[in-house]
Structure 1
Amino acid sequence: MIIASLCMTSLLTAIEGTVTATALPTITHELDSKELYVWFVNAIFLSSAVIQPLFGQLADVFGRRWPSIFSVAVFALGSGIAGGSNSNGMLIAGRTLQGIGLGGVNMLIDIIVCDLVPQRKRGAIMGIIFAIFATGSSLGPFIGGVLVDHSSWRWVFYLGLPVSGLALLLLVLFLQVRFDKETTVMNKLKRLDYIGNAILVSSMISILIALTYGGTLRPWSSWRTILPLILGLLGICAFHSYEVTGWQQEPVMPPRLFKNRTSAIAFVLVFLHGMILYWITYFLPVYFQSVLLSNPTRSGIQFLPTTIVVIPFAIVAGGLITATGRYKPLCIIGFSLQALGVGLFTTLDIASSTTKWAIFQIVAAAGIGLVTTAILPAVQVELPESDVAASTATWGFLRSLGSIWGISIPAAIFNNRFEQLSTQISDSNARDMLRNGVAYEKSSSAFINSFSESTRIEIILTYQGALQRVWQIAVVFACVGFIAAWGMRESKLKRSLDTDFGMKTKEKP
């Protein structure tokens, strides 16, 4: 029942992670968001990323149960605020709260599994939970499209309320796990790394501001782009320097996690994996809606090959890890398929057949699935069980950080390339409407079909060219992952469990 409650909670995170992929252009149009649209996505991923290291510490200090319940409750609050939004600021605030909840949920699910199951068997359990997660992810774009076409975009967010309610009920009833209750609350709070968390959060916000506006509203050469980027990168360096000094007895991201080669490389791989996953998730629908001129519902259906195929490959990978204890070959094969898949996406155009884009998606999705359940075992194989929470929190942070870059980087590439190619649009009015970083917002069949046939073809070709550049850059990151995976050692996964946390058991009389 604990695993069942985690599966339902995973479903909550999965649907919300992808449900906006097909609905985002409609939402940004109705709220007249202009360049703010990117924050509807970035807010949830930024807050999700930066909060995970803190939740890792909270899980060690307060146990796993109450942080999990708190996370789902915060997500539900954010869903209600986002659904009832009547302004961009309110929607961004709601999405930020959703992100805080999702960050805690995503990371705590993995920590609890690590508490209950030895390393060698975790792959199979992770595969089961991911199957539920992937089902929700596959339904997300389709549900988002249907809600936009037949109801209201607000239900994209209200959908999180009933799912949150059921997840909360299951967690309250069944998530009965051990933790140390003897220490006072004040002593527990003193263990948290406040300075480290503050530096990390501010640095990430600064970097994301630069990535979001660089090349669109502001040139990359502008001081308003360069300054926050430099400050953010210096902040990251300051964060790691502070963690190494030893001033904080329990650092939020202990340096020891990176001291063995396999864990360090696995952390790089999880970042790249999160990046490529969301790179595909948020830009394939743009191809369907702006080049093939599909409506949101149809684009959600066209995206199903990606999300459906991920499920069986993730389950198979988890089973193989449990059966063989090997994770390195799965990472190597997975990243090679990702590189091949996104490379094939560069050939997609206005004349591409259903068979072509479906098969290309299957190739990339197979690679994503194989890597999904193989990275966490690689992170933890050479670390002690006492580092489960810290390593899982760092893994979750880097996965979410990759998701942020997987949306911000292709968005910047897309907008830059679209701006360069927009000169081929002969209608000056149409050209002006698509400039200054609003091409993503306008990537809908309804908007493009409002122009004459000749202008419509020019707009489609501009979208097509911009997307080709997006996929070309994605190939580079996938290849980096493929090369890095070869550097891991293949250590033996533990068959026993040694943890201070775990399932509560009744005391014998």
Structure 2
Amino acid sequence: MAPAKNAAPAPKIASATPDMASQPRGWRFWAIMTSMAVASLLAGLDATAVSTAMPSIIKDFGTSQGYVWIANAYLLTTTAFTPIFGQAANIFGRRVLTLFAISIFAIGSAIAGPAPTLGALVAGRAIQGIGCAGINTMVEMVVCDLVPLRERGKFMGFIFAIYAISTTIGPLIGGAFSTYVTWRWIFYLNLPLAGITLAMVIISLGALPKGSSMSLSSLKRVDFAGNTLLVSAITSILLALTWGGGEEPWSSWRTILPLSLGLAGLPLFLLFETRVPEPTTPFRLFSNRTSLAGFWCAFTHNMLVFWILFVLPIYFQAVLRASAFRSGINILPTAAVCMPFTIISGGIMTKLGRYRPLLMVGFALFPIAIGLFTRLNQSSTTGYWAGIQVIGALAIGIITPVTLPTILTPLAESDVAVATATWAFMRGFGTIWGAAIPLAVFNSRSNSLVAAHLHDNETARTLLANGGAYTLAAGGSLYSVLGLDDNPSLEATVKGIYINSLKLCWQVGLAFALLGFLLTFLVKELSMRTELETEFGLGKESEKKSDGEAERQSTSISPQ
């Protein structure tokens, strides 16, 4: 479609020399940044700490029935409730929403810690997820309010590195607590951390402009109907992806119906948003090629990140016989490389004012890493699987701070809140598919291989079929339950099933990695704003439009 008639002349490529005005940054600026880093640390720790504690949790409750919802409930609410925080932050201001999110997270932790039943633990995790959705969104939004677009990569790189550190040490902390104390301390630890974070936010964010008061007229501006539709759609999709290939076959109506309703609900939500006075997700966010491609790059990036983090532990635990705790250590090369390169990538983007080359380099590395992962087997050396992780981590780190500025450059500064929330939603939605697709592929492939190679061993066939192969590997009980130590022949057969099933997972992931690389060609390089244009910053900033305003003034899909 041709550009709108009122579009400005074609934007120029970003200048290689920053032209940012010198802005004094006093103690309050750095206090806010520190509080945002601590909030990010809080959210990141809990996102991964439960993974290595899962066997202990299952043992304590005496059942593995429904254990997947300990993770899925958190993932569901983290994704589904993200957009509403973006809209609400424009109405009520950043400070009150940040305090609300941290408080909700603490309440969820207080419920999950002493939970007497698995259901209570799942409920606490779901409430935690709502808080995490708000924390992640508000952290990114506050950074956007404090620094110009051109500089955001530098500061976001630091924040993302903090988050990466917390998600890396999370499994180690979870494993240590569950081994030496109790898994419940994973949640108890959140309470003092949340208290410290709340105090820091109250002190530091007091200087930010306040939004509307909590009145009936203000609440009516929130798009509750649209968000209810979105939450329902995401819930239906996650139900289908949780049941499919495990509890229910993919051909079952119990899988097909919720998946169909969920996938139909997403376009229905977008259509509904076009008819709402203050939509959660305005359609104008997708009205230009660069932002639209940026959203899908964010989705694909997070999907591939969690694809790697989902598949690798199964390889370590089932093929290399690592414990869940040792598996967490084996993934450290990913974090060790990802963290510094997230900061470096953000700094390069700030220095050069260019995001497209970084996107292209990052997405070019993903297919290389995932392609090499397809060759993993029981004979792979530590140097081989650690070296591939380095390549994948380079891709993750380079892309991480770049997708949001890519999206925001063509958009008006007034759209920062809703665009940031939509970006966070796309990342969360990518996380769901990054776990669901490889799980579906793994279950399908392992089912067929189990039937073909274990037809004379009914016990092993029953335990490994219908999702059992994943459950046993993830729970760390594969070798003990099947008695593989006393049966070398069966051990070799079972390892072969895992290796071939995981190989197909990597091959499907390679297709998505190549798709991500192709998406980068839709992104156009535009100059990035060098001064703030926000009503929520620390002070009134002069307005300055960049050459990217050509796209910000267009409301129709254009080739930019």
Normalising by structure 2, what TM-score?
A: 0.86
**Structure 1 residues 352 and 35 mapped into 2: Cα distance closer, same or farther (>3 Å)?**
farther
Contact 2:95–2:210, Cα closer than 8 Å, also in 1: no
SS of aligned partner of 2:81: helix
RMSD: 1.8
| One-letter identity of the residue aligned with 1:18 | T
How many pairs align? 503
Contact 1:25–1:440, Cα closer than 8 Å, also in 2: no
The 2-side partners of 1:355 and 1:183 are apart by 57
SS of aligned partner of 1:36: coil
Contact 1:270–1:395, Cα closer than 8 Å, also in 2: yes
Other-structure match for 1:459:
494
**Structure 1 residues 182 and 432 mapped into 2: Cα distance closer, same or farther (>3 Å)?**
closer
**Structure 1 residues 35 and 491 mapped into 2: Cα distance closer, same or farther (>3 Å)?**
farther
Other-structure match for 2:306:
278
Give the Å deviation of 1:33: 4.8
SS of aligned partner of 2:206: coil
Other-structure match for 2:532:
497
**Structure 1 residues 184 and 90 mapped into 2: Cα distance closer, same or farther (>3 Å)?**
closer
Percent identity between matched residues is: 43
CA offsets, 1:215-263, max 9 Å, x none? 222222222211111111221121111112x3x1110000000001100
Other-structure match for 1:222:
252
1:37 aligns with 2:35: no
Contact 1:21–1:282, Cα closer than 8 Å, also in 2: no
| One-letter identity of the residue aligned with 1:357 | W
Other-structure match for 2:200:
170
Other-structure match for 2:406:
378
CA offsets, 1:180-204, max 9 Å, x none? 5566622211111111111111111
| One-letter identity of the residue aligned with 1:417 | R
Contact 2:212–2:218, Cα closer than 8 Å, also in 1: no
1:369 aligns with 2:397: yes
Give the Å deviation of 1:364: 0.6
The one of 260, 263, 266 aligned to 2:291: 263
Give the Å deviation of 1:25: 4.4
**Structure 1 residues 458 and 260 mapped into 2: Cα distance closer, same or farther (>3 Å)?**
same
After the TM superposition, which residues 155-234 of structure 1 pair with which residues of structure 2 at under 5 Å, given as runs? 155-181=185-211, 185-234=215-264
SS of aligned partner of 1:231: helix
Choose 26-35 or 347-356, whichever is displaced more: 26-35
1:108 aligns with 2:138: yes
Other-structure match for 2:547:
none
Other-structure match for 2:117:
87
After the TM superposition, which residues 296-445 of structure 1 pair with which residues of structure 2 at under 5 Å, given as runs? 296-423=324-451, 424-425=453-454, 426-443=456-473, 444-445=475-476
The 2-side partners of 1:153 and 1:299 are apart by 18
**Structure 1 residues 333 and 45 mapped into 2: Cα distance closer, same or farther (>3 Å)?**
same
Contact 2:52–2:171, Cα closer than 8 Å, also in 1: yes
The 1-side partners of 2:211 and 2:142 are apart by 18
The one of 462, 475, 479 aligned to 1:448: 479
Give the Å deviation of 1:9: 0.5
Other-structure match for 1:242:
272
Contact 2:209–2:538, Cα closer than 8 Å, also in 1: no
SS of aligned partner of 1:37: coil
SS of aligned partner of 2:472: coil
| One-letter identity of the residue aligned with 1:70 | F
| One-letter identity of the residue aligned with 2:344 | V
Contact 1:114–1:388, Cα closer than 8 Å, also in 2: yes
The 1-side partners of 2:197 and 2:138 are apart by 14
Contact 1:314–1:369, Cα closer than 8 Å, also in 2: yes
The 1-side partners of 2:487 and 2:181 are apart by 30
Question: Structure 2 stretches of 5 or more lacking a match?
Answer: 1-30, 541-560
The one of 79, 89, 101 aligned to 1:49: 79
Other-structure match for 2:514:
479
Contact 2:90–2:211, Cα closer than 8 Å, also in 1: no
The 2-side partners of 1:350 and 1:341 are apart by 18
Other-structure match for 1:122:
152
Between Structure 1 and Structure 2, whose CA radius of gyration is higher? 2
Normalising by structure 1, what TM-score?
A: 0.95
The 2-side partners of 1:76 and 1:228 are apart by 31
Give the Å deviation of 1:177: 4.0
Contact 1:380–1:391, Cα closer than 8 Å, also in 2: yes
Give the Å deviation of 1:30: 4.5
**Structure 1 residues 10 and 213 mapped into 2: Cα distance closer, same or farther (>3 Å)?**
same
**Structure 1 residues 149 and 430 mapped into 2: Cα distance closer, same or farther (>3 Å)?**
farther
Contact 2:114–2:184, Cα closer than 8 Å, also in 1: yes
Choose 331-340 or 180-189, whichever is displaced more: 180-189
The 2-side partners of 1:144 and 1:181 are apart by 38
Question: Structure 1 stretches of 5 or more lacking a match?
Answer: none
CA offsets, 1:282-308, max 9 Å, x none? 221121111111122211111101112
Choose 381-390 or 460-469, whichever is displaced more: 460-469
SS of aligned partner of 1:439: helix
